[in-house]
Structure 1
C-alpha cells in the first residue's frame, strides 16, 4: 500500500470509530436515574392533622381502657402526637404475646 492509501484507510477507520462512539453515546440515556427512598411505614401511619391525631389517640386510649385526661383540649397538636405515640407503644404487644413459645437465647 502506498502512503496515501494508508492515510486514507487510517482516516476512514478513525471517522468510522468516532461515528460509532457518537452513535452509542447518543443512544444511551444520559439523564441520571433518581431514586426515591420508600416512606417509612411508621411515619405514614401517624395522622398529620389535629383531628386525626385526636381520633387516633382516643382509639388507642380506648384499647387500653382509658379516657382522655381533663383539659386535653388545651394540648397542642405536637403534645397530642406525643401522647398518641406513647400510648401506641404502650399498647404494643410484648414479645411473649407475639410468640409465646420463643425461648430467649443467651
Structure 2
C-alpha cells in the first residue's frame, strides 16, 4: 500500500469511529433519573395554621399534665409553634423507654 492509501484508510477509520461515538452519545439518555417520594412521605405532621398549632400544643401539654399559660392568646403564631415543638420534644420517649436493650451502659 502506498502512504496515501494508508492515510486514507486511517482517516476513514477515524471518521467511522467518530460517527459511531456521536451516534451512541445522541441515543444515550444522560438526564439524571429523578425519584419521587410517595405523597404521604412528603407531608409533614407539623400543623401550619395557628388553630392547628394551638390544638397540637394543647394535646402535648395534656400529655404532660400541664395547661396553657395565662395570656397565651397574646403569643404570636411563631411563639406557639416554638412552644409546641419544645413540648413535643420534651414528651418524646427516651431511648430506654423505646428499647431498654439499646441503651449502652458506660462505666
Identify the TM-score tier after normalising by the shorter chain: 0.7 to 0.9
CA change 1:72–1:98 in 2 (3 A) is same
Per-residue displacement from partner, 1:46-100 (whole Å, max 9, x unpaired)? 2222121111101101111222122211110110011101111121123332234
Q: TM-score, normalised by structure 1?
A: 0.75
TM-score normalised to structure 2 length: 0.75
**Aligned with 1:25: secondary structure?**
helix
Cα RMSD between the aligned structures?
A: 2.7
Residues 51 and 13 from structure 1, CA distance in 2 versus in 1: closer, same or farther, beyond 3 angstroms? same
What residue number does 2:87 align with?
87
Rounded to whole Å, the distance in 2 between the matches of 1:71 and 1:59 is: 18
- Residue aligning to 1:105: 106
Structure 1 spans left out of the alignment, 5+ residues: none
1:59 has 2:59 as partner: yes
Q: CA deviation at 1:18?
A: 1.0
For these two proteins, the number of residue pairs brought into alignment is 101
CA distance in 1, matches of 2:76, 2:26: 57
Question: For residues 83 and 11 of structure 1, do their structure 2 counterparts lie closer, same or farther at Cα, with a shift above 3 Å needed?
Answer: same
Aligned position for 2:28:
28
95-104 or 1-10, which deviates more = 95-104
Alpha-carbon separation, structure 1, partners of 2:99 and 2:28? 52
